[in-house]
Structure 1
């Protein structure tokens, strides 16, 4: 009896898996910019990536731009330092977007530090930029 139910359910599951979600349910594309430890400075590669993001944002009209900064405290720093570093990273990326022609009113800063200790060190040293969400 179980085998019949399973085989009867397989076509239904296949049809459900083939449905294409509408654009409203799709998450906005996310771009990640990495930083060196204890730094909010953009290096040359990050600057080029932000310039590319600005060009993409320009093609999306007035779509909002969310800039999420992340940082984690290490053994020598405090959670307050991690919060301020996350905010500084997000602000530097936002300032670069504005310098590249994006209206500051479209940009929303979302500092997310400190992040959980379990995250890898590199993952905590990042900014995520989402356009159009």
Structure 2
């Protein structure tokens, strides 16, 4: 799915250090039930390719682990399908991890939640 085919429903900025989990991020969903997500950064060695791992403990809670390098900009090649919103709309996640800020160890992480454009009833018309 390309970003051009999606509409943004929520943007937020987090400041994360390696191996420190964020507080819960709440994505309000009055129909399907709110989603609670945490984010964590892990470093990979030079020459390795980072991955994004999403683990879910139940339909409303998930942990997102983003592998990155300390001085790299990291983003998925395309938005990641996260689940559904309002029980029927495909929900996607995008992010951009900036290089660490000076020697603070902190990274600015932009998180974006998307829905497919024009999807009102769960189908693509």
* Same fold, judged at TM 0.5 (above): no
* Alignment TM class, shorter chain as reference: 0.3 to 0.5
Which structure has more relative contact order (CA 8 Å, sep 6+)? It is 1
More helix as a share of residues: 1
More strand as a share of residues: 2
Q: Kindly name which structure, 1 or 2, has the bigger radius of gyration based on alpha carbons.
A: 1
Q: TM-score normalized by structure 1?
A: 0.33
